[in-house]
Amino acid sequence: MNHADVISNRPTAAARPSLLVKAQPGGRVIVDVTPQSAGWAHVGFRALRLGAGETEALATGARELCVTVLSGQVDVLVGSERYTALGNRQSVFEDQSPYAVYVPPGREVRIDARGSAEVALSTAPARGRLPARVIEPGQMRRSVRGEGANTRYVCDILPDSEPAEALLVVEVITPSGHASSYPPHKHDSAGDAETALEETYYHQLNPSQGFAFQRVYTDDRSLDEAMAVEHRDTVLVPRGYHPCAAPYGYDLYYLNTMAGPERRWAFKNDPAHEWMLAR
């Protein structure tokens, strides 16, 4: 086999859709990722902007749902149960945890905006073993990861230590000039040391005209895509390592939705970059 044959057999960007899902500049739906559109089996993600008095109605079907109130305030009706005045911040960059609602499969849901609001809808296949519940800010664990220019601030909305069947949901703020999800790590193989989890990154920037960078790559580079991410864009992570970085002057927020065959977050760092953890 000559060199030209090797090159021609490599996967190309044209052979698959981009991992970057651009935000819609207007309208109710900011982004809508389904298992079908992503080409995977588990994670669904939508982000919605609602005006005062607007309503979003949906049925969970065969999937569990985590509604995260990103900004503004909403009422959430699950069947006959009404959860009122959920939401305590006007921006995801405020120093406080969000409200969220866990909803099992087979439920009718309505979200009523009390004023302008933004909500995220994270879904994954489930059987319906758990009841609906509000997840209050005080129940969410907040932590700091990394050090120096690798420091970021984490809020566990629905971690594997809290009840759900498949979903894992977390939000992270990465300060200006810092790296995040770094050293690069992956979770795409089943085993004790690593779990296979699909993941979406829903990004926001402060100020909103900013941008950030994210790379998704595998050890063999059969997947290797570097993306410039703008306000409210979403990045799909079907497999591989997935670090991101915020340029100077712009803080980066992202909401992660993860799900896979096993509901456990276990990851492997890229061996080429793991050395920095020992410094």
- The pLDDT of residue 15 is 52
pLDDT one-digit tens code per residue, 58-92: 999 999 999 999 999 999 999 999 999 999 999 99
Q: Does residue 142 register a pLDDT over 80?
A: yes
Residue 278 pLDDT: 83
Q: Is residue 105 part of a domain?
A: yes
CATH of the domain at 197: 2.60.120.10
State which residues form the domain around 63: 21-278
Q: Which residue has the higher pLDDT, 192 or 120?
A: 120
Domain count for the chain: 1
Q: What pTM was estimated for this model as a whole? A: 0.93
Residue 3 has pLDDT above 50, yes or no: no
Q: What pLDDT sits at residue 172?
A: 98
Q: Rounded distance, CA 200 to CA 256, Å?
A: 5
For residue 272, is it within any domain? yes
Per-residue pLDDT band for 14 (boundaries 50, 70, 90) equals very low
Q: For residue 12, tell me if it sits in a domain.
A: no
Distance (Å, rounded) from C-alpha 46 to C-alpha 106? 18
CA distance 132 to 60: 12
pLDDT recorded at residue 16: 62
